[in-house]
Amino acid sequence: MKRYLIIGSGPAALSAIETIRKRDLTSEILLLSEEPYPPYSRPLISYLLAGKIEEERIYFKGQDFYERYDVTAYLGERADGLNTKEGMVYTSKDNRFSYDKLLIATGGRPIIPPVEGRDLEGIFTFTKLDDVKEIRKYLEEKKAEKAVVIGGGLIGLKATEALMELGIKITIVELADRILGLTLDKKASSILQSALEREGVRVITGNTAQELRGREKVEEVVLRSGEVIPTDIVLFAIGVSPAVDFLSESELKVNRGVLVNERMETNIPNIYAAGDVVELDNILMGRKQVIAIWPNASDGGKVAGENMLGGENEFRGSFPMNSIEICGIPTISMGITEPENQDYEVLIKEKEGEYKKIVIKDGRIIGAVFVGNIDRVGIYCGLIKEGMDVSGFKERLLDDDFGLIYLPKNYRKMKLEAVEL
């Protein structure tokens, strides 16, 4: 009988547990999570803050998940160190856990820049359930009316969306020249920014917070430009970085994230990693990078779980893909949306309330942006994943009725057979 030790409680960890238990009902599974809660969906925390859902909804696997899968869960216990020679993990509560197989699925930690005044009351991050609880309590106690969200990426806009629902007057401060600069092109970004501004949100780009001021609690944000913005609360939403700090004295190879092969194995035998903590092959860029999206974490956890059992499964790589709906405008981006040179062909179609863009290189789609109308996006995603040559039907790609009918007959047959199965 083996002992599987899993660090983390996100989609990679849960997928690995489900995979292991399908074939191994008797071995011991231990889980360490620095959060004190049953598994929950982080993408739903903005809806919880906005009051759109009750807390019970966030526990998408059920609050009895660990019991059902016979997992001994140590909640509220953070991994603080790893000794690969002893096969031992050390925790924040001075406990030691041995393992036969170890999965590192610690996800990411919010980035907080060293801004003067960041220790004042009323300054929060926005990545986990405790953040929501603390923010909601603070808003109610201080009767907050104004907020500054530092960061105009996905996390910042989800936080903004929630605060808008609560009637808070919001200013977004983004260092880049536009919001969602890592996922959208300039046109798509401008559409969402205009929508936010119509709802009363102020968006400041090309600037950042230099100092936070106040007596005990935050009252002002001083920008690099010198402008002073009065506020009742500040949310840092700059982004996250892989939670690898506890590995600093181990022999695991870590770049920005943990380095793994196609089997989700690290450089140390019997140690695997999956989720937002790892660097994966970007199949469009030809390099490894952190691609922090839910499907990758879930799929990577499944591959890790199967191989921890002795299987031979592989994760074939991925590419960035993000979706967000702001002010009722749905948006999806995939792959490379802003080509750096002239080696790419760009197709664009615009009409009122909609924007579509497809980026093609060597006859294959390597990026796409859809704003306002995201129907049929799954087809384009499939074409990117499979590297299909679209030269023969390129002129139809942006048609409103584009679908399987325009694709090669053998490809349509394969997809229809898959649906029937």
- CATH class of the domain comprising 330-420: alpha beta
Binning the chain into helix, strand and coil, the percentages to the nearest 5 are 30, 30, 40
Q: Looking at the chain, which residues constitute the CATH 3.50.50.60 domain(s)?
A: 3-44+59-109+241-308, 123-238
Q: DSSP character for 213?
A: E
Please tell me the predicted confidence (pLDDT) of residue 392. 87
Does residue 97 contact residue 32 with C-beta atoms inside 8 Å?
Answer: yes
Does residue 331 contact residue 323 with C-beta atoms inside 8 Å?
Answer: yes
pLDDT digits (tens, 9 = 90+) for 182-227: 999 999 999 999 999 999 999 999 999 999 999 999 999 999 999 9
Fold of 3-44+59-109+241-308: FAD/NAD(P)-binding domain (3.50.50)
Out of 3.50.50.60, 3.90.320.10, 1.25.40.10, 3.40.50.720, which CATH number does the structure's domain 123-238 have? Answer: 3.50.50.60
Indicate whether 15 pLDDT > 80.
yes
Q: Looking at the chain, which residues constitute the CATH 3.30.390.30 domain(s)?
A: 330-420
pLDDT digits (tens, 9 = 90+) for 239-264: 999 999 999 999 999 999 999 999 99
Please tell me the predicted confidence (pLDDT) of residue 415. 53
Please tell me the distance from the alpha carbon of residue 342 to that of residue 24, in angstroms, as a whole number.
Answer: 53
Stretch 79-91: mean pLDDT: 97
Residue 362, Cβ density class (10 Å: 0-12 exposed, 13-18 middle, ≥19 buried): exposed
Please tell me the predicted confidence (pLDDT) of residue 419. 41
